[in-house]
Amino acid sequence: MTMYARTIPIAAAAHSKDASFEYLTTRKDELIGWARKFSIFPYPFVTACCAMEFMSVSASPYDTDRFGAALPRFSPRQADLLMVVGTVTHKQAPVLLKVYEQMCEPKWVMAFGVCATSGGFYQNYAALPGIDKVVPVDVYIPGCPPRPEMVIDGIMQLQEKIARSSHPIITKSF
Amino acid sequence: MASTLLDTLQQELVPAAGPAALSHGMLVFTLAPAELLPTVGRLQREFAFDIFLDVTAVDWLGQTPRFEVVHHFYSTVHKLRVRLKTRVPEADPCVDSLVPLYGSAAFMERECHDMYGIAFHGNADLRPILLYEGFVGHPLRKDYPKQQEQPLVPYRT
C-alpha cells in the first residue's frame, strides 16, 4: 500500500535538445489535487490545552509550512482546513457549526486530539462526544495531546486524501 | 494573632452560628439559613472579612436536609479564612443572597444556581452563566444522570 501521494508523472519531451519541459501529462483530477494538497490554509478552532501542541507543531522545529499548511486564516471564509483543537462543549457546538458553514468549498475538517475526536474523558453533560456529531470530519488525530509527529502524519494523510479525491471543479470544458 | 481572632470569632459568633469547628486552620460554622445574612454582615463589618471567595454546594443525596450551601471568606487584614455551611431542604433550596454585601457574589451565586439549583433570595439575575438557556435540571446534583446530554445542535446521522 502506498501511504503518501504520488508526484505528478512528468514526461520530458524526448526530442528536446536542452531537455526542458515542453509538455507534461497527468490526469486533471490529479493536477487539481496536487495543487490543492499543498495549499491547505488552516482555520484553528482552538478551545483547550491541545492549543499548546498546535503552537508547537506550527512553529519552526516541526514546521507545517512544509506541507503548505502553515498560514492560519483567522476568517473561516478564507480557510480550507478547519482544525478543531480541543474540547468542544454543547454550548459551543452552534459556534463550530456556524464556522464550518461559513467556509467555502472545498473544505476539510481535522479533529485534533482525543476530545475533538470522541469527547475523550469528558463523557458528561457538558462536552460534545466528538465533533463528528455536528460536522463531517476527514482526519482524526488521537492523543491527549497528540505528538507533533502525529499531527504531521494526519496532515500528510489528509494530503493523500485530497490528492486521490475527485475535484468537482473539473468540467467537460476544462 | 490568628488564633486569638479565632477565639474571638468563636465566642462572638457561636451563640448565633451554632457549634464551630477548626479545619486546617479555618474556622467552620454551621448555620441556619435565617442566620446567614446577619452573620456574614458581622464578619464583614466587625471582623474585616473583606473578600468573598466562593459559594458552592454539596448534595448529600439521601439525607435531610439534602443540600449544604458552603460560603468561604477571607480577611486580608487577619490573613484568615472562614467557612460557613448552611443546610437547606430539597423542597425549598434557598438562602439569602450576599449581593447586598459583596458585589462579587452575583456571578458565583449564578453558577451555584446553575449547577445545584440553589435559589438565592435577593439576587435579581439568576440566568444561566455556564449552562445555556433551555438546559433542564442541575448537572452537579447527584441524581442527574452522568452521561445525559442536552445538545443544542441536532446530531448528524
- Report the SS3 class of residue A83: strand
- C-alpha gyration radius of chain A: 19
Interface contact flag, A134 B131, Cβ < 8 Å:
no
A97 belongs to a structural domain: yes
Amino acid at B94: C
For residue B12, the distance in angstroms to the closest alpha carbon of chain A comes to: 44
A67 belongs to a structural domain: yes
Amino acid at A160: E
Look over chain A and give the mean of its residue pLDDT values, rounded to a whole number.
Answer: 85
Contacts of A128 in chain B (CB under 8 A): 151
Find the domain containing A109 and state its range.
41-164
Separation of alpha carbons B52 and B36, rounded Å? 14
Which three three-digit cell numbers place residue A1?
500500500
Give the CATH number of the domain where residue A93 resides. Answer: 3.40.50.12280
Q: How many domains does chain A have?
A: 1
Beta bridge mates, B67: B59, B88
Q: How large is the average pLDDT for residues A22-41? A: 82
Q: How many CB atoms lie within 10 A of CB A51?
A: 16
pLDDT at B88: 94
Residue A119 has pLDDT above 80, yes or no: yes
| Ordered structural domains, chain B, with CATH | 2-121 (3.30.460.80)
For residue B113, the distance in angstroms to the closest alpha carbon of chain A comes to: 16
Q: How large is the average pLDDT for residues A48-62? A: 89
Interface contact flag, B144 A97, Cβ < 8 Å:
no
Residue B131 has pLDDT above 60, yes or no: yes
A87 belongs to a structural domain: yes
For residue A117, the distance in angstroms to the closest alpha carbon of chain B comes to: 15
Residue A3 has pLDDT above 60, yes or no: no
pLDDT at A173: 72
Beta bridge mates, B28: B21, B83
Edge-to-edge strand order for the sheet containing A42-46? Answer: A42-46, A81-85, A108-112, A139-141
Cα angle at A54 between A94 and A43, to 5 degrees? Answer: 45
Give me the residue from A94, A125, A129 closest to B152, CB to CB: A94
Residue A15 has pLDDT above 90, yes or no: no
Give me the residue from A90, A124, A134 closest to B156, CB to CB: A134
Give me the residue from B144, B155, B156 closest to A125, CB to CB: B144
Residue A7 has pLDDT above 70, yes or no: no
Confidence (pTM): 0.81
For residue B111, the distance in angstroms to the closest alpha carbon of chain A comes to: 14
A6 belongs to a structural domain: no
Contacts of A135 in chain B (CB under 8 A): 156
DSSP 8-state assignment for residue A127: B
Which three three-digit cell numbers place residue A99?
464556522
A106 belongs to a structural domain: yes
A14 belongs to a structural domain: no
Categorize the per-residue pLDDT at A146 as very low, low, confident or very high, splitting at 50, 70 and 90.
Answer: very high
For residue A102, the distance in angstroms to the closest alpha carbon of chain B comes to: 16
Q: Is A98 part of the contact surface with chain B (CB cutoff 8 Å)?
A: no
A116 belongs to a structural domain: yes
pLDDT at A158: 92
Indicate the pairing of strand B94-96 with strand B119-121: parallel
Interface contact flag, B155 A133, Cβ < 8 Å:
yes
| Dihedral over Cα of B102, B103, B105, B109: its sign | positive
Q: Is A146 exposed, middle or buried (0-12, 13-18, 19+ CB in 10 A)?
A: buried
- Report the SS3 class of residue A46: strand
Residues of B with CB under 8 A from a CB of A: 131-132, 139, 144, 146-153, 155-156
Which three three-digit cell numbers place residue A90?
454543547
| Dihedral over Cα of A85, A87, A90, A91: its sign | negative
Q: Is A168 part of the contact surface with chain B (CB cutoff 8 Å)?
A: no
Residue A16 has pLDDT above 60, yes or no: no
Percent of chain B with pLDDT over 90: 54
A3-17, A46-60, B26-40, B55-69: least confident range: A3-17
A56 belongs to a structural domain: yes
Q: Which residue of A has its CA nearest to B128?
A: A91
Cα dihedral B137, B139, B140, B146, rounded to 10, equals 120
Strands (E), A35-75: 42-46
Look over chain B and give the mean of its residue pLDDT values, rounded to a whole number.
Answer: 88
Mutate to test the interface with B, among A96, A125, A128 (most CBs of B within 10 A): A125
